[in-house]
Structure formats: C-alpha cells, structure tokens
Amino acid sequence: MAITRDDVLKALSTVTVDGGGTTLPGSGRLSQVLIDPGNRVMFSILIDPSEAERFEPVRREAEGRVLALPGVSSVLASLTAERASSAPAAGAAPRPPAGPGTPPPRQGNAQGNALPGVRHIVAVASGKGGVGKSTTACNLALALSAQGLKVGLLDADIYGPSVPKLLGLSGKPRVIEGKILEPLQAYGLKAMSIGLLIEPESAMIWRGPMVQSAITQMLRDVAWGELDVLVVDMPPGTGDAQLTMAQATPLSGAVIVSTPQDLALIDARRGVTMFRKVSVPILGVIENMATFICPNCGAASAIFGHGGARHEAERLEVPFLGEIPLTMAIRETSDAGRPVVATDPDGPQAKVYREIAEKLWGNLTGAPAGRAAPRIVIE
C-alpha cells in the first residue's frame, strides 16, 4: 500500500510539542516529509542545539507514530538545528528555532562524545569519487579484522553507498530493542550501510544537516557492540556536507585515498586540509591504482604516473601508508561482493592491504604494527 504525505502528517499531528500546546506539523519545526518508493519515510525536526535532549522523546514518539502506519517499512526521523529546506515545510511556515548562520549541532568531535564500546572510529575519505575509496575502506576493514581486531564497517557514502555490493549484502537490517538496528555480518565484519536503509535516490536530495543526522543515527542507533575500530566510508569530496560530517562524527583519525594523478592529488590535499580544519588527525594517505598489474604477464606499469601520493604526503607532512596496485583481481572481487582480503587472504593483494592496515593501526594506537592490543577478560 502506498503511503502519502498526508497519512504521515496526520500521524504526526498526534504528536505535540512545546508543552502540549501545538502539534508537530503545526509547530513549524517539521521539515519536508520524504517518502521513497520502498515506503521509507524521512523527516527531521528543527531544534536549537540546546533543545536536543528535550526533543529526543518527541523524535522517538514521532518515529513510532509513523512506523505504526500500515505499509510504512521504516522511518528515519532526526533532530536538526539548521533550516531544513527551502521547500515548503509541512503544515506551517518553517520557523527555524536557531537564527540563520547558527552552526549545526556538534554531536561529537575528535576529542569527545565517542561511541560507547567502540575504541576508534576511522574515516576513509577521498577528495573525489571513483578513486577506490570504498574498495579500500572495505579491504582495510577486513585486513584489520585479519589482525584479530573486532571491526565494523559503516557505509556513510550517502550519495553512492557501495558497501552492500562490496560485501555482497542485501536485505534490511533487523530492528532490535525498539529503534536499534542490528548490523549485518559479512566476512567477520559488522556492517551497516545507508544503502540498506533507504533508496539511494532519496539521499541525493538530502541537504547537509539531514545527511549528518542520518550518519549520527547510524552511529548511535546501531548495535555495534564492542569494536576495536569502526571504519567509516565517507562520502567523497571536501564540501560543506563532508566538513560538517567530519566535525559531527567522533573520529579518531582519517585516511585519505588518492590515485597518483595530479588532479586527484589536489583533491587529496583538500581532504587533508578539511580534516585539519576540524582537528581530526590524519592517519595517512594511501595511493590506490598506483601501478597497473597486467593480468597476462604480471608486468607492472605506472599508467597514472606513480609515487605522486607518497610525495604529496611528505609535502603535507602526513604519514604515507602504502600503495595499492590496479589489478583485475581487486576490481572483479569488489564488484562481485567477494573482497580480495577475505577471499584470497594469502594472495599478493591481501598482503598489500594487510601491510597498510598494520601501519594504520600503529599510527592509530602507537601499538607495534600487526599487534592487536591485549584484551582483558574478566571472568
């Protein structure tokens, strides 16, 4: 059964705000209501950052009321502190509680507000799309897991989620304990992707604050449990949305993936600058597609030039983590949902990712490369 915006507004008009005097749609705090073809409903509630705690029960109630509508498959309701859209808000004229220019809420940062149970959150980012960021994030997560670490992979690439394809995942995550989602499992990783929750087309029209809220929810409302590291596949680019997200995610550090071409390096530089701006440590730069390995003769050729990312890392005084060659094996396995580190763990490609993961872990924790930190078990 198709859900209409009116159905949603009707359900939301049973939710009251501001001491019970006003309905949520009538309060001017409700953003545009989006419904995708899979009957997934998304909206946000405009608040002042100082109201976050007070409005969390309202958000939950609103989510519950809409979820109770027959036919609704999922609801993503978020609190946001920026004017949600220039499109007409539902029910009433938008009344942004915070003045224009008010920064979005800082739900976390590199210094604090970390995720309970998760020791490190590491962003994998790139200055532009198509450089192999997601493939690298996925294989790095698997390589960290191969070191004996407990690893999660969060696909926050809201404009082009590829983790479901990379890990061969499908189906919707199970809801446990009310609104908490159970991460999916693949090759020993816990994984969650925005692609499993919404149709990618719906995310395309989201504005920065909605993207940020969705990511925050995927961090907070997923039962990640105990993790040594949560690898976050970030959306490509260094625009405002990425900056806000880098700021709002409690990151321990960031990894920048680049190809060796000059143009990609300019973008990588912007990536480094962006994370520096929000005081997130750069754990290193990775050169992807460094050399092309001929599938027939095995000869290596530097079709995009070679070594550019290493030099750029030196110039920017950030660590260089390593080079990943361009190989058929990496492309075919990623596109088939059988990532090379998991399916050919003793092969040459897996070795490259493992070495990079070891350096990454070392830079993250100061621990000797390749050694997971000891786990204390209390019986």
Binding residues (CB under 6 A) for ligand ADP: these are 126, 129-135, 162, 236, 288-289, 324, 326-327, 330-331, 334-335
Cβ atoms of 207 and 87 within 8 Å: the answer is no
Query: What's the alpha-carbon Rg for the chain, to the nearest Å?
Result: 22
Return the number of the residue (98 or 166) whose C-beta is nearest ligand ADP.
Answer: 166
Name residues whose C-beta falls within 8 Å of residue 305's C-beta, 6 or more positions apart in sequence: 260, 261, 262
**How distant, in Å, are the alpha carbons of 11, 85, 344 from that of 27?**
15, 16, 56
Which token pair is 118?
A: 């998760």
Residue closer to ligand ADP (CB basis): 133 or 359:
133
Q: Which residues of 221-243 are buried (b: 16+ CB within 10 A; e: fewer)?
A: bbebeebbbbbbbbbbbbeebbb
Q: Tokens standing for 159?
A: 């404009």
Please, what is the minimum distance in Å from the beta carbon of residue 145 to ligand ADP?
18
Q: Select 123 or 289, whichever has its Cβ closest to ligand ADP.
A: 289
Cβ distance to ligand ADP smaller for residue 30 or 144: 144
Q: Which residues contact 86 (CB under 8 A, 6 or more apart)?
A: none
From the CB of 333, what's the least distance to ligand ADP, in Å?
A: 8
Residue with Cβ nearer ligand ADP (49 or 307): 307
171 touches 45 (CB < 8 A): no
Q: Which is nearer to ligand ADP, 209 or 322 (CB)?
A: 322
Least distance to ligand ADP, CB of residue 373, Å? 29
Nearer to ligand ADP, 12 or 264 (CB): 264
Considering the complex, what minimum distance in angstroms separates the CB of residue 350 from ligand ADP? Answer: 12
In the complex, the smallest distance separating the C-beta of residue 258 from ligand ADP, rounded to whole angstroms, is: 10
Q: Which of 241, 74, 250 is nearest to 154 (CA)?
A: 250
Structural tokens at position 73? 């498959």
Cβ-closest position to ligand ADP: 132
Is the CB of 80 or the CB of 136 nearer to ligand ADP? 136
Smallest distance, Å, CB 342 to ligand ADP?
15
Alpha-carbon distances, residue 205 vs 32, 196, 208, 352 (angstroms): 11, 17, 10, 37
Q: What secondary structure, in 3-state letters, does 105-147 show?
A: CCCCCCCCCCCCCEEEEEEEECCCCCCCHHHHHHHHHHHHHHC
CB of 141 to ligand ADP, least distance (A): 13
Smallest gap from Cβ 320 to ligand ADP, in A, equals 16
